[in-house]
Amino acid sequence: MELSQLSRDDHDSSHNEHSSPVDHAPLLTNLFTGSRSDQKKAKALSDAIDKSLRADKERQQREGGIKLLILGPSETGKTTVLKQLKLLYGRRGLDSERQTFRRIVHLNVMKAMQTLVSGMEAAHIRLEKQENEQHLETVLRLESLLKRYSISSIGFTNPAIPRKITDAKAETDLFEEMVPAIKALWADAGIQQTYRTCTQLSIQDSASYFLDAIDRLARPDYVPSDGDILQARVRTLAVTEHVFNIDNVAYRIYDVGGQKSLRKYWAPYFDDVNAIIFMGALSAYDQPCEDEPRLNRLQECLVLFNHIANHKLFAVTSMILFLNKIDIFQRKLDAGSLVNKHFPEYRGPNDYYSTTVFFQYRFLQQVKDLNKQVYTHFTHATDTNQMRVIVVAVNAIVQRLNLSNSGLM
C-alpha cells in the first residue's frame, strides 16, 4: 500500500463541530436496584470485567502488546514523546544515549546560531556591537560546514536512506572553535531582536534553552542531562520500534520520520493498530513548509490528519491528538504574531484560549465520521511532569476502548 492511497481532497466537505470528551465507565450502582440478587449480579459482572482485563493483558503480553503509532509531520515532537516514554518507563531511562546526544547538542547549538545570523541578515537587523562583526563572519562559515554532519536517528535499516557517518572529534573541535563567537553573538541585542521578532524563522524550538547554557555545554566533562536530551533536535529518518510496560501492559510503539519523502514507509505499520497518537505543532501556524513554501506547516498538518483520521484501516482505532509546542505557540502570540494573518478564516482575539479552541475545532472538522471520538491534549512534550499525566490518561483511554470493543462496556 502506497501513501498515495491515503490522499484525499482536504476540502471535499464541511463537517459539524463535535467534542472529544473522555467518557467515564458507567457506575454499576446505576444499573442495579441494590437487592441481594442484583448485588450478586453486579459482583459477577465486575469479576467478569476483571477476568477479561487480566486475560486481555496476558494476551497482549503474548502477542507483543498494544500496537501504537506516533504519526505526524516532521518537527512536531514525535521523537520527544518517545524520549519521554524512555525516561518514564524505560529500564535504563535515557542513560544509554547520553554520549550520543553530546554531539547532537553541540550541533544543535551551532545550527541555531547559524539560523539566527541568517535570519538577522534577511530581516536587515544590525548588530549592536561593531566588534561582533568578526564573530558574524565566523558563524556564517557554519552553513557550509554543517552540511557535512548528520543530526539524525536511524532505526530499522532502510536501504533507500543513506546513512551518514560523521567524525565526532571533528564536531567537538568545530564546536570549541565556535563557542566564543556564539557566546558573543547571543549576547548581542541584534541577535536577541531577531530571536524575539522573527517568529517565522525555521529555528529549532530549543535554541534559547541551549544558547543560554553555552558555558555548561562547552565544559570538557559535559554530559547531557535528561532535560538536554529531551530538548535536543534529532531528525528521524526511519521507523523505530520500542517496547514499554505501562500499567502491566506491553506497548509496541513506533516512531516514524514525518518528512513527505518518508511517509510511504508508514504503510506496513498500519495493520492491527490499537491506537494512534497524531502530533501537530501549534507553533507552526506561521511557518512555511520547507519543501513547499507556499503551504503553511499547520495547514499541511491538517491535511495529513484528515487522511489518517478517515483511513478505512483506522475505522475502529483509538485516535489521540496531541496539539504540541504550546509553550512556543504562547511565545509567538506574546511577540505579536497574528493567527488571522496565516488563517484568515479566524476572526477571534489573538489570545491563547481563543486561538487554541479554534485550532482544536479545525482538527476535529477533518473527521468525517461524527461518531468517531478524537481525544485531544494540548501538550508541551519536553515537560516531563505534564507528559507523565498525559501518558496515564492515554493508557486509560486505550484500555477503556479495548473493553468497549470486546463488548464489556
In the annotated binding site, the residues are 75-80, 205-206, 230-236, 255-259, 324-327, 381
Q: 197 exposed, middle or buried (CB, 10 Å; 0-12, 13-18, 19+)?
A: middle
Site of grid cell 517565522: 200
β-strands 240-246, 249-255 pairing: antiparallel
Alpha-carbon gap, residue 228 to 102, rounded angstroms? 9
Q: Which three cell numbers stand for residue 11?
A: 476540502
Q: What is the largest CA-CA distance in the chain?
A: 88
Residue 278 · residue 285 · CB < 8 Å: no
Spatial CB neighbours of 168, under 8 Å, sequence gap ≥ 6? 103
Alpha-carbon gap, residue 359 to 85, rounded angstroms? 26
Show binding-site residues for Mg(2+).
79, 236
Q: Which of 335, 340, 330, 380 is nearest to 199 (CA)?
A: 335
Alpha-carbon gap, residue 6 to 10, rounded angstroms? 11
Backbone angles phi, psi at 239, to 5 degrees: -90, 130
Backbone angles phi, psi at 277, to 5 degrees: -100, 115
Query: Which ranges in 281-407 belong to alpha helices (H)?
Result: 297-309, 326-334, 339-342, 352-365, 384-405
- Angle (nearest 5°) at CA 69 between 63 and 72: 175
The DSSP element (H or E) to which 324 belongs, if any, is: strand 318-324
Q: How many CB atoms lie within 10 A of CB 223?
A: 10
Q: Which of 393, 64, 53, 58 is nearest to 253 (CA)?
A: 64
Show binding-site residues for GTP.
75-80, 205-206, 230-236, 255-259, 324-327, 381
Residue 356 · residue 326 · CB < 8 Å: yes
Q: Which three cell numbers stand for residue 375?
A: 481525544
SS3 327: helix
SS3 66: strand
